[in-house]
Structure 1
Amino acid sequence: MIEAAMIWNEPNNKSHWDPELDPDWRLFAEMAMLAGQAIRAENASLTRVLGGISPIDPAFIVNMKGRGVLDHVDAVAVHGFPLDWNLWRIDEWPQKIEEIRAVTELPIWVSEVGVSSFGAEEVQAWGLERTAQLLAGRAPRLHWYSLFDLPQAWGATTRHKEAEGSSYYRHFHMGLIRADGTPKQALDVFARHAHIFGLMQWFRFEDPRLDDAVAWMKRLGVRRLRTGLSWADSFRPGADLFFDRMMQALADFEVTVTFAFTPEHRGLAPHHTSPPVAPEEFAEFCARMVRRYAGSVRLTPEVSPPAPARVS
């Protein structure tokens, strides 16, 4: 069910990793290496991807390389939202890819790119079309964020709050489909480019949108999906039952699973962005999920893992 395992989400963004607890990312690097080793030991054929960085910062990749993390992944990933949050223009996308390519020979995935419809649906539709023009053929994987709008009642996992103006509210308008289930203008644009893009869609624990998401993705001709299995959620009663249902529902797609989110009771601080008290516990979670949903594939002298996909 899984084609790739992503280790964390936006590790250089304080919405997802606490820089006060780990200012030089030493603890993150230790955790990521253990996770990479555990995934490889469990399934040697699975592509391991360093969690998509946001902002796109070559210095962070250099840091990870210096700490040995890149020796335990097969690709790195970037996230970009130039029409909503980033301080660069949409036409700079090729330059941003090249900035990362200058510091690593690993394949570079674009595991999240999107445009909100907060200001106008026409902006989102134009942004999707322009993004397709700029990124087609530049990365082995392109994942559009996202299929569904985030319901406002759920809240956004971000450092941005209402006091920062539209920065916070844009989080709720990134979907191709509104929270009430009706399509936006950009949905037709995406359908024309579904051969280029996969989708990125988070599913909450016991998410009621799961079946609708599968139906929409099949209707759109989507082949690839990036989603997440939450370490924090794994401690909820019934977690494995929901994980099983979700992964079975997604069995027809090529799925990149993101492993992230520290359980409050296992962090140095009681927050999902905290480094864990015992990083090997995160690695064990990754291995268990790989074993459950990708199966075990061991290396032998006659069998080597496939080379990571590269753009031809």
Structure 2
Amino acid sequence: MIEAVKFWNEPNNKSHWDPEVDPDWVKFAQMVKLSSAAVRAEAPGLTKVLGGISPIDANFIQNLQQKGVLDTVDAVAVHGFPLDWNNWQIHIWPERIAEIEAVTKLPVWVTEVGVSTFGAEEVQEFGLKRTAELLTGRVPRIHWYSLCDLPKAWPATTRHREAEGSSYYRHFYMGLLREDGTPKLAARHFANYTPAFGICQWFHFEDHRLDDAVKWLKKLGVKKLRTGLSWADSYRPNADAWFDRQMAALEDFDVTVTFCFTPEHRGIQPHHTSAPQVPEEFAEFCGRMVRRYVGGSATPVEQEAKLVALA
């Protein structure tokens, strides 16, 4: 069910990790190393991935490398949105990948890439085709962000929200499907790029979209899915029941699961972006989730690829 785990999401983005609490990512590095050890103790063969960075920054990777973090993971990941938020053009994608490859021997996964329909659906349609041309065969994993638009009644996970202006509102239009579940123009092309293209789809606690999303993922031929299990949500009533339902619904996919979000009462600051007071608690959460949904039977992704090639 789970082929890989990721430690955090966009740790070099203020909307996901607070640099005022942890200005040189010392606490983050300690947390990831502890968490990697906890996962390895439960499932030695499970692939471990550093949380996808955004912006794509080779200096950030080198910082974590110097702190020993890259010795504890099997891949690093990047996120890019050149038609919405990044200050570089879409054709630069291969160069951005090469910048990270130049500072690490680990595989580079693209675990979020997407285009909003904030301005026009035709922009997403173009962006999907061009991204496929640039990235297919270039990296081991590509996860398109995302399947579903974010409901307008929900907040997007950014630090300043509406104060960001149009940058904030783009978060609500990243899906291949509109909020009402109807497909956009790009959705009719997506099956042309699967299974090479996976999907990144975050599910909120007790998300009403789960079952319909699974139907669409299968319809589009998706095999690789990235999602998340929230440490913060684990403190909600009936959290394990929701986690069980989510993971059971996704059992037909090869899942990369992201562990992230600090519970407010366990952060140095009361916010989901804060470094935890006790990093071992996050590691314990990662280990418990792997024990619950993987056990000790995971096959390393690289070993799996070799077996497929031999077949």
TM-score of the aligned structures, taking structure 2 as reference length: 0.96
Q: CA deviation at 1:166?
A: 1.0
**Separation in structure 2 between the aligned mates of residue 10 and residue 219 of structure 1, nearest angstrom:** 29
Matched, 1:166 2:166: yes
Matched, 1:217 2:217: yes
Q: Once the two structures are superposed, what CA deviation does each residue of 1:13-46 show, in whole Å capped at 9, x if it has no partner?
A: 0100000000100000000100111111110110
Provide the residue aligned with 1:46 in structure 2: 46
**Separation in structure 2 between the aligned mates of residue 218 and residue 271 of structure 1, nearest angstrom:** 36
**Separation in structure 1 between the aligned mates of residue 303 and residue 270 of structure 2, nearest angstrom:** 36
**Separation in structure 1 between the aligned mates of residue 166 and residue 115 of structure 2, nearest angstrom:** 13
**Separation in structure 2 between the aligned mates of residue 138 and residue 44 of structure 1, nearest angstrom:** 28
**Separation in structure 2 between the aligned mates of residue 276 and residue 2 of structure 1, nearest angstrom:** 25
Q: CA deviation at 1:310?
A: 8.0
What amino acid does structure 2 have at the position aligned with 1:230? S
Provide the residue aligned with 2:98 in structure 1: 98
Mapping 1:32-181, distance limit 5 Å: 32-181=32-181
**Separation in structure 2 between the aligned mates of residue 210 and residue 224 of structure 1, nearest angstrom:** 16
**Separation in structure 2 between the aligned mates of residue 14 and residue 165 of structure 1, nearest angstrom:** 17
Q: Once the two structures are superposed, what CA deviation does each residue of 1:95-138 show, in whole Å capped at 9, x if it has no partner?
A: 00000000000000000000000000000000000000000111
**Separation in structure 1 between the aligned mates of residue 188 and residue 302 of structure 2, nearest angstrom:** 34
What amino acid does structure 2 have at the position aligned with 1:105? K
Matched, 1:10 2:4: no
Alignment length (residue pairs)? 307
Matched position secondary structure for 1:150:
coil
- Measured on the aligned residues, the alpha-carbon RMSD in Å equals 1.6
Matched position secondary structure for 1:199:
strand
Provide the residue aligned with 2:257 in structure 1: 257
Matched position secondary structure for 1:52:
coil
What amino acid does structure 2 have at the position aligned with 1:124? Q
Provide the residue aligned with 1:301 in structure 2: none
What amino acid does structure 2 have at the position aligned with 1:36? S
**Separation in structure 1 between the aligned mates of residue 177 and residue 187 of structure 2, nearest angstrom:** 7
Matched position secondary structure for 1:132:
helix
Q: CA deviation at 1:307?
A: 3.8
TM-score of the aligned structures, taking structure 1 as reference length: 0.96
Q: Do the aligned partners of 2:195 and 2:224 also contact (CA within 8 Å) in 1? A: no
**Separation in structure 2 between the aligned mates of residue 52 and residue 308 of structure 1, nearest angstrom:** 22
Q: Do the aligned partners of 2:3 and 2:300 also contact (CA within 8 Å) in 1? A: no
Matched position secondary structure for 2:93:
helix
Q: Do the aligned partners of 1:160 and 1:167 also contact (CA within 8 Å) in 2? A: no
**Separation in structure 2 between the aligned mates of residue 156 and residue 3 of structure 1, nearest angstrom:** 27
**Separation in structure 1 between the aligned mates of residue 135 and residue 296 of structure 2, nearest angstrom:** 34
**Separation in structure 2 between the aligned mates of residue 69 and residue 54 of structure 1, nearest angstrom:** 17
Matched position secondary structure for 1:185:
coil
Q: Do the aligned partners of 2:3 and 2:301 also contact (CA within 8 Å) in 1? A: no
Matched, 1:248 2:244: no
**Separation in structure 2 between the aligned mates of residue 59 and residue 140 of structure 1, nearest angstrom:** 22
Provide the residue aligned with 1:25 in structure 2: 25
Change (3 A) 1:84 1:132: same
